[in-house]
Amino acid sequence: MRLLIVEDNKELADALVAAFARRDIHCDVASTAGDAQLLAETVSYAAMILDLGLPDEDGLDLLQRLRANQYSEPVLVLTARGEGMMRVKGLESGADDYIVKPFLFEELHARLGAVLRRQGGYVEHLLAVGNLTLDTRSREVCVAGSLIDLSVREIELLELLMRRSGHVIPKRLLEDQLFGSGDGLGSNAVEVYVHRIRRKLEDVTAAVKVSTVRGIGYLLSAA
């Protein structure tokens, strides 16, 4: 899962990135409304965490514009503006939740999970397709109960495929979720990781199939 953090306080932004990384959640950071809009329009994120006090524009104006442009991903406002009417305005502007600084990271993480549950997002910890299982907490992948060795990036890709098993996932979405906006990897990076996963699953006779849908993306299904 990849988040967009819109926060101009570098110390806080870095702390959030580190805290989410410990939970295997990757983040891109934008320090201005302009950068945030560019990323939101070009990269697929599971959710956005939005500060309101941005140097170039009020965060609520950005939120209203994104919603007007049919931006549908969850947005959690994280701000020092705690007055009652500001909360109301934030929610009316399109925020899915409104969190006031100072805050506990555990609360932010819990609220993110609640928002994603309402959106049908990333909530299950044990994924299973055929005889293949992935524990998203321990990051262990098993076939018929036996552990198999996958790299961190391979597990991340496999998780995306398993969470949407039976559905084609566009290549662009996989690139965005795995590599974000600044990795600068080659255009065939996803193909390379899919090939590695496919080979390792075949070697242990996993009862799943990773199919390439030409020109669109990839699909994982029970064999």
Domain end among 84, 118, 152: 118
Mean pLDDT for all residues in the chain: 89
Domain end among 87, 102, 118: 118
CATH number, domain containing residue 86: 3.40.50.2300
Structural domain count, the chain: 2
Cα separation, 36 vs 41, whole angstroms: 9
pLDDT of res. 186: 56
Positions in the chain short of pLDDT 70 = 120-124, 181-187
* 98-155 pLDDT per residue, tens: 999 999 999 999 999 888 877 765 555 788 999 999 987 788 999 998 999 999 889 9
The verdict on 140 and 97 lying in the same domain is no
The verdict on 148 and 213 lying in the same domain is yes
The verdict on 65 and 104 lying in the same domain is yes
Cα separation, 48 vs 76, whole angstroms: 6
The verdict on 97 and 166 lying in the same domain is no
CATH number, domain containing residue 215: 1.10.10.10
Residue numbers of the domain that contains 35: 2-118
Which residues are within 8 A (CB) of 139 and not within 5 positions of it... i.e. 6 or more apart?
A: 24, 152, 155
